[in-house]
Amino acid sequence: MTAELTGLTAQDLLDGYRKGEFSPVDATRAVLARIEETEPALNAFVRVDAEGALAAAEESAGRWRRGEPRGLVDGVPVTVKDILLQRGAPTFRGSKTVRAEGSWPEDAPSVARLREHGAVFVGKTTTPEFGWKGVTDSPLSGVTRNPYDTSRTAGGSSGGSAAAVAVGAGPLSLGTDGGGSVRIPAAFCGVFGLKPTYGRVPLYPASAFGTLAHVGPMTRTAADAALLMDVISGPDPRDWSGLGPAVGGFREGIQGGVRGLRVAFSPSLGGQVAVRAPVAAAVRSAVERLAGLGAYVEETDPDFTDPVEAFHTLWFSGAARVTQRLSAAQRELLDPGLREICAQGARMSALDYLAAVDVRMELGRRMGVFHSTYDVLVTPTLPVTAFEAGVEVPRGSGLRRWTGWTPFTYPFNLTQQPAATVPVGVDGDGLPVGLQVVGARHQDGLVLRVAHALYEAGVAGLDAP
């Protein structure tokens, strides 16, 4: 039963609980067994709380027996990226500079909503130090590996969450995305990931990376992501920049299909990105299927040049702020790459920062105008598939930083738009390929709807590794 249960979506589990076919205890035991089986090779967790998870699952099973489930995900095993606070557990954020001592009394807003809805917390997943880069390795926890090929990276910075979902170590996970950190590892690990509109999922404590950082679901399907969004998207008074309640439910909104939608397909952002042939072919095939489902597809490009320098200014200065209060001895413990960008960020001025904000605002204006013509933009999520684990950039690429191979993701953190990655195939080495769907701000439901249509048509989704 272990393999059967770990292969189920959250909605499948809830249906089984409702029918009495199995219990939250069965599901949690299966997930814990799966973690024990896969963790030595993957290194996706910094903490597994088997005792706490089983106790919570027992309580949930009692509620289901009484016909009184607490909420929308009662008894579903979930994992949480170790950037987000979880009551009673240290949040190390991938750093040796964070001490475990203390009571850790507070949940992040998204974690609190999951707790209110009866979720079973299985463990905290790995992240690079303070979530600073697009792969997952850190001085604290080492290298997290790809479940499709453990010599390859899982991506980052939510790499532990992506790997966990891919292998069946819980169907729901919370990630964070400041420049692609949900979408990058989801694409590399063959799962679904959504970066919602900024503020749609409240965040506390506020990120030092400012309004680039979003919290989002990582799941096997768009339908499960819609379920998770219905749980975590409510406002929280601790987030002053959070949005008000969403209008309508995300689960109901995914059923509309794509007929009549205006889809812009940009295979390379106007020739700015060199996309590997297997990635380009898989994405184009999926886009052709959208057209076959009734969408109006036009191959066209959004009107912007690569905003990487502006992103670097905001990102590097944010990293400098994260580490500002560390002592000289603590700085020696940092990831060398992080230490390098912190030094760059510390040299930037307020005028540098405001100039980057100007670029950001102009990019947002351009995308707003673009979406007055097109409902969604579709691109590859990444131009490459997963490369060697333990390095920031592919060897021999000539690239310096992780942003060099993620040009499709970080622009939409600058604009705060919703963007999802959908697994649409594999390359010749069996490594997953992701397609990105980007919507106008506040159109999270539409992004989920397009993604769900690809799943319903059999275009999206991969066999578990």
Catalytic residue list = 81, 157, 181
Q: Name the phi and psi angles at 214, rounded to 5.
A: -120, 150
The answer to whether the beta carbons of residues 461 and 448 sit under 8 Å apart is no
Query: Which helix (H) or strand (E) segment is 233 a member of?
Result: none
Q: Which residue has 């679901």 as its token pair?
A: 217
| Residue 69 exposure: Cα atoms within 13 Å on the Cβ side | 21
Show the beta-strand stretches assigned E in 12-146. 45-48, 77-81, 120-125, 137-138, 142-143, 145-146
Give the phi and the psi of residue 58 in degrees, each rounded to 5. -60, -45
Query: CA end-to-end span of the chain, whole Å?
Result: 18
Distances (CA, A) of 287 to 304, 323, 436: 22, 43, 11
Task: State the angle between helix axes of 222-232 and 109-116 in degrees (0 to 180), rounded to the nearest 10.
Answer: 100
Question: CA–CA separation, 71 vs 48, rounded Å?
Answer: 24
Place of tokens 């949005």: 243
Other C-beta atoms closer than 10 Å to the C-beta of 32 total 23
Q: Torsions phi, psi of 366, nearest 5? A: -60, -40
SS3 category, 162: helix
The residues that bridge with 215 in the sheet, in sequence order, are 176
DSSP for 29-65, please give it: HHHHHHHHHHHHHH--EEEE-HHHHHHHHHHHHHHHH
Cβ contacts of residue 210 below 8 Å, gap of 6+?
Answer: 314, 318
List all residues 6 or more positions away from 63 whose beta carbon is below 8 Å from its beta carbon: 69, 70, 74, 75, 118
Q: Cα dihedral sign for 444, 247, 296, 452?
A: positive
* Strands 376-380 and 296-299, bridge-based pairing: unpaired
Residues 6+ apart with CB under 8 A from 67: none
How many other β-carbons are positioned within 10 Å of the β-carbon of residue 155? Answer: 33
Q: Alpha-carbon torsion 40, 44, 49, 53, what sign?
A: negative
CA dist., res. 293 & res. 300, Å (int): 19
